[in-house]
Amino acid sequence: MIDARMPVIDVTAAVFLCDGRVLSFRRKPGQTLAGYWEFPGGKLELNETLAECLQREIREELAVQITVGDYLGVTDHSGNRKKIRLHGYIVSQWSGEIQLTDHDRMLWLGAAEIDTIQWLPADEFFVERIRQHLR
């Protein structure tokens, strides 16, 4: 049960889609939940919109400029005495070459492969939401 008094942290996630495939990123060793696959993003800062947050986080994590696309929705996830409100967006346009800083691998997955990796629990909501885009 989620305690209503838990602080709520808004976080964004970028779901890169291209040619019927989704791009996943694996957390590198030494990080919390190392080895799990995720959609990159991060925490919303003061006076920042969700789109601005996602653009900043992707620039910091992957060194690319993105165009924020359609909103996929929001899901709540709790742990470590805090509640995460995760907002997902489709990204289908970006410029630059992706450089991994917070991750040790990236992998393009089609519909048949999306269940072959271990996703972060918070990102499973978006995995379900994008299945229709992968067909």
d(CA 69, CA 88) in angstroms, rounded, equals 10
Q: How many helices (H) and strands (E) does the chain have?
A: 2, 9
Q: Confidence class of residue 11 from pLDDT cuts 50, 70 and 90?
A: very high
What pLDDT shows up at residue 99? Answer: 97
pTM recorded for the entire structure: 0.91
Question: Which pLDDT score is estimated for 100?
Answer: 97
Domains in the chain (CATH in brackets) are: 8-134 (3.90.79.10)
38-62 pLDDT, tens per residue? 999 999 999 999 999 999 999 999 9
